[in-house]
């Protein structure tokens, strides 16, 4: 796990703390384009609403566009109709995106092209290890790069791995502060194309973010430890990484993240105002309780005026019991 700074290290954050109360949006830096990138594996729940609201408000209060990208490259995990539901939910919650909705599946030829490029630069190798084997030979669950010298064929049922780099992949997160990833744990070759032939999340997300000109990535802290891998991809692709904003994630009574996998309840339109206010409060914003009696447009207007990135708790997890 990345080191969790105990105190706010606001000096290391790009957004300097604002000295006054009230409307803070003008103190926030200018950005170009952000995104919300749900997978269509089910409807949005309170946990994904946090990422949607957080990414929307950071983009909008920093004068940036907010793109919606449906990450539909894992058909076995997709639920029929989930994309339409997600888009309807976003609209019902007043989270209107800029430009067309992007469908990640349309970028598959582009991912293949990038893979071929990485392959021709000898940055990839094939791996035929089973998960069982990796677990048996590794005490920390991380892949010990054992196929890196075997020169296996890329044909057939093999995962394509990207060779690790030399950098130590530390970065300053705009919410979590300085994040350090120990080299011995994170210098791991990771999968860019899966054994089942599907594109891996790490590759797809970075290539799409680069192609769309995304300059800030806002998402849940559960993805914090994907960031060093994504930094490696930015490095081999010769691109500048975005600013990172990892929001606290909502956890349930058992200490697990609210997720589609553990059947978090879908957010419904008739509770939109109440849930929006709760999402703002979860993100440390002092949204007055009376706001929940207003319509979503008024709540979003309030948020656009008063939202402050500095008020987001510098925590990776926050309990949320509905």
Residues that bind ligand GLU (CB under 6 A): 37-39, 71, 205, 219, 223
Which residues partner with 34 through β-bridges? 66
Whole-number Å distance between alpha carbons of 206 and 234: 7
Whole-number Å distance between alpha carbons of 7 and 4: 9
Query: Which of 38/43 has CB closer to ligand GLU?
Result: 38
Please give the residue whose beta carbon sits closest to ligand GLU in the complex.
219
Query: Which of 160/244 has CB closer to ligand GLU?
Result: 244
Query: Which of 225/294 has CB closer to ligand GLU?
Result: 225
Query: Which of 220/284 has CB closer to ligand GLU?
Result: 220
Q: Cβ 212 to ligand GLU, closest distance in Å?
A: 12
Tokens of 255: 């200490």
Whole-number Å distance between alpha carbons of 28 and 46: 26
Q: Cβ 193 to ligand GLU, closest distance in Å?
A: 17
Q: Cβ 37 to ligand GLU, closest distance in Å?
A: 4
Element (H, E) at 25: none
Q: Cβ 288 to ligand GLU, closest distance in Å?
A: 30
Q: Do the bridges between strand 159-162 and strand 190-193 make them parallel or antiparallel, or are there none, so unpaired?
A: antiparallel
Query: Which of 38/284 has CB closer to ligand GLU?
Result: 38
Q: Do the bridges between strand 216-220 and strand 190-193 make them parallel or antiparallel, or are there none, so unpaired?
A: unpaired
Element (H, E) at 50: helix 46-61
Q: Cβ 39 to ligand GLU, closest distance in Å?
A: 4
Element (H, E) at 298: helix 296-306
Query: Which one, of 245, 223, 257, lies nearest residue 47 by Cα?
Result: 257
């Amino acid at each position: 796990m990345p080191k969790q700074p105990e105190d706010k290290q606001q000096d290391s954050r790009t957004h300097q703390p604002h000295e006054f109360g009230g409307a803070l949006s003008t103190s926030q830096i200018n950005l170009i384009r952000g995104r919300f990138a749900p997978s269509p594996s089910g409807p949005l729940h309170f946990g994904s609403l946090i990422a949607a609201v957080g990414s929307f408000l950071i983009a909008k209060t920093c004068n940036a566009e907010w793109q919606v990208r449906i990450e539909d490259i894992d058909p076995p995990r997709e639920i029929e109709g989930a994309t339409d539901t997600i888009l309807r939910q976003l609209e019902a919650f007043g989270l209107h995106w800029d430009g067309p909705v992007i469908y990640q599946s349309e970028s598959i030829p582009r991912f293949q092209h990038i893979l071929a490029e990485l392959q021709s630069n000898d940055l990839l190798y094939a791996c035929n290890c089973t998960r069982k084997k990796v677990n048996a030979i590794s005490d920390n669950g991380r892949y010990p790069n054992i196929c890196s010298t075997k020169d296996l064929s890329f044909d057939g049922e093999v995962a394509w791995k990207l060779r690790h780099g030399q950098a130590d992949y530390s970065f300053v997160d705009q919410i979590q502060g300085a994040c350090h990833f120990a080299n011995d744990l994170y210098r791991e070759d990771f999968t860019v194309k899966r054994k089942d032939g599907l594109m891996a999340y790490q590759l797809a997300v970075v290539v799409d973010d680069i192609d769309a000109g995304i300059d800030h990535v806002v998402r849940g802290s559960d993805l914090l430890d994907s960031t060093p891998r994504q930094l490696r991809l930015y490095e081999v692709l010769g691109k500048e990484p975005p600013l990172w904003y990892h929001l606290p994630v909502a956890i349930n009574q058992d200490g697990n993240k609210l997720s589609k996998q553990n059947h978090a309840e879908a957010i419904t339109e008739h509770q939109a105002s109440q849930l929006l206010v709760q999402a703002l409060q979860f993100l440390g914003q002092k949204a007055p309780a009376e706001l929940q009696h207003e319509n979503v447009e008024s709540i979003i207007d309030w948020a656009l005026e008063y939202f402050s990135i500095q008020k987001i708790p510098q925590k990776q997890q926050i309990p949320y019991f509905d």
